[in-house]
Amino acid sequence: MQHLADVEVYSVRTLREALELLSSVKGLRVIAGGTDLIVQLKTGVVPKTNLLDVSRVDELRYVRFEDGILRIGALTTFMEIYRSELVRRHAPLLAEAAFTVGSFQIMNKGTIGGNIVNASPAADSLPPLYVLNAELKIVGPRGERFVRIQDFYKGYKKLDLMADELVAEVRIRPPGEGYVGHFFKHGLRRGDAIAVVNGAVLLMLSPEGIVRDARVALGAVAPTVVRSPSSERVLVGSRLSPEVMWRAAEAVVNDISPIDDVRGSAAYRRELSVNYVFMTLYRIARETGVVA
Ligand SMILES: Cc1cc2nc3c(=O)[nH]c(=O)nc-3n(C[C@H](O)[C@H](O)[C@H](O)COP(=O)(O)OP(=O)(O)OC[C@H]3O[C@@H](n4cnc5c(N)ncnc54)[C@H](O)[C@@H]3O)c2cc1C
């Protein structure tokens, strides 16, 4: 266990101050809620380093809907996301996922920016963000830039983010009329559990129950969260019958590469993925009246 008594913490109140310090002080690491980073520092998973505490940069904590885009500041906590009327209206899958992040204590401290940058393949916000085609606003000394969530991850914990940059905002264009979706998660217990497998399914259905658009994402089954094009191909253009739902669920195994670890074997994860995608498709089919 590493002792952190000699770690220096720089506290800032504005984004400008944060960016200035990140550019001028070498080796600073951003800390937001600290729910990932403190554990990683104490256990030595992350080498001991001085910290830039951004938790009081209030200009990065908000949920807004402007110009047809849902904008979530990086410091917004999962409790704030879960409670937000705007998130529930425009990105209900994300509200569903937010409610499963740890305990209420973790939901109160853990931020969406921290969840994204920590880059765990099991992070609960990510499957919803993948199917919602979310975009990240990244700010740094060279200005701001925008990156699609799936392009942000280059491999296991490899990010399109420089040491002097911050994730500032998550942007979601609501998918619009006719889209229905859900988040799913399997943990080893009912609460406060990291996912063995998680995921999200978002479908656009015609009034006759034909799938016009399908987006399926899975977490904890590959080095990064993945979409399942094989499953999506089975769904698009088909009626959401039980047979199609099974074929689509079984197709996810083509797009995942799970490993054995403390939470479950690769074989168990494959089986969970198929079953949860089927159950989520079935849930959508029932809610929309496609199956009785
Ligand atoms: C008991 C427990 C249960 C948990 N359960 C879950 C769970 O069920 N689901 C889940 O997904 N996670 C879970 N977590 C993990 C964690 O709570 C989340 O990932 C949380 O969202 C991290 O946010 P944070 O603000 O605490 O990040 P921090 O720990 O402050 O930071 C995490 C990483 O992100 C970087 N960072 C933070 N904000 C920014 C930013 N704006 N720009 C650039 N870099 C940034 C930091 O430098 C660090 O590398 C759990 C953790 C604990 C301790």
CB within 8 A of 132, min separation 6: which ones?
91, 93, 94, 172, 173, 175, 202
Ligand 1 contact, 114 CB (< 6 A): yes
* Domain 59-172 of CATH type 3.30.465.10: yes
Task: Please return the burial class of 233, using the count of CB atoms within 10 Å of its CB with bins 0-12, 13-18 and 19+.
Answer: middle
14: three-class secondary structure by DSSP: coil
Can you list the pairs that 209-212 forms with residues at least 24 positions away whose Cβ atoms lie under 8 Å? Answer: 209/239, 209/240, 209/285, 209/288, 209/289, 209/290, 210/237, 210/238, 210/239, 210/240, 211/235, 211/236, 211/237, 211/238, 211/239, 211/240, 212/178, 212/236
Q: Where are the domains of the chain?
A: 9-53, 59-172, 181-287
- The predicted-structure confidence for 233-258, as pLDDT tens digits, reads as follows 999 999 999 999 999 999 999 999 99
- Tell me what pLDDT residue 288 has: 94
Region 72-94 average pLDDT: 98
Residue 262, pLDDT score? 87
74 lines ligand 1 (CB under 6 A): yes
- The arrangement of secondary structure in 181-287, i.e. its CATH architecture, is 2-Layer Sandwich (3.30)
Given a cut of 90, whether residue 158 has pLDDT beyond it is yes
Residue nearest (by alpha carbon) to ligand 1 atom 37: 114
Predicted local distance difference test score (pLDDT) of residue 5: 82
The rounded mean pLDDT for the chain is 96
Neighbours of 82 (CB within 10 A): 19
What pLDDT shows up at residue 35? 98
Question: Greater confidence, 143 or 193?
Answer: 143
Please give the pLDDT value at position 101.
Answer: 96
* pLDDT score, position 1: 78
Among 7, 37, 157, 196, residue to substitute to test ligand 1 (most atoms within 8 Å of Cβ)? 37
Mean pLDDT of 125-141: 98
Average pLDDT over residues 193-197: 92
Say how many Å lie between the CA of residue 195 and the centre of ligand 1.
Answer: 14
pLDDT bin (cut points 50, 70, 90) of residue 102 is very high
% of the chain with per-residue pLDDT over 90: 91
pLDDT at 2 over 80: no
Q: What is the mean pLDDT of residues 38-61?
A: 95
- Which among 51, 103, 118, 196 is the best mutation to test ligand 1's pocket, defined by most ligand atoms within 8 Å of the CB? 118
Query: Using alpha carbons only, what angle is made at residue 16 by residues 60 and 82, rounded to the nearest 5 degrees?
Result: 5
Select from 47, 52, 11, 3 the least CA-distant residue to 28.
Answer: 52
5 class by beta-carbon count within 10 Å (0-12 exposed, 13-18 middle, 19+ buried): exposed
DSSP 58: G
Which residue out of 22, 101, 198 has the highest number of ligand 1 atoms within 8 Å of its CB and is therefore the one to mutate? 101
For the segment 171-197, the average pLDDT, to the nearest whole number, is 92
Q: Is the CB of 139 under 6 A from ligand 1?
A: no
Tell me 77's DSSP state: B
pLDDT of residue 193: 86
Mean pLDDT (whole number) for 77-86? 98
Residue 292 has pLDDT above 90, yes or no: no
- Positive or negative, the Cα torsion across 63, 66, 69, 74? negative
Mean pLDDT (whole number) for 99-113: 97
Listed residue (202, 176, 3, 38) closest to 109, CA to CA: 38
User: What band does 99 get if pLDDT is binned at 50, 70 and 90?
Assistant: very high
pLDDT band for 88, please (50, 70, 90 cuts).
very high
Question: For residue 90, what is the DSSP state?
Answer: H
DSSP secondary structure of 209-264: SBEEEEEEEEESSSSS-EE-HHHHHHHTTSB--HHHHHHHHHHGGGG-----BTTB
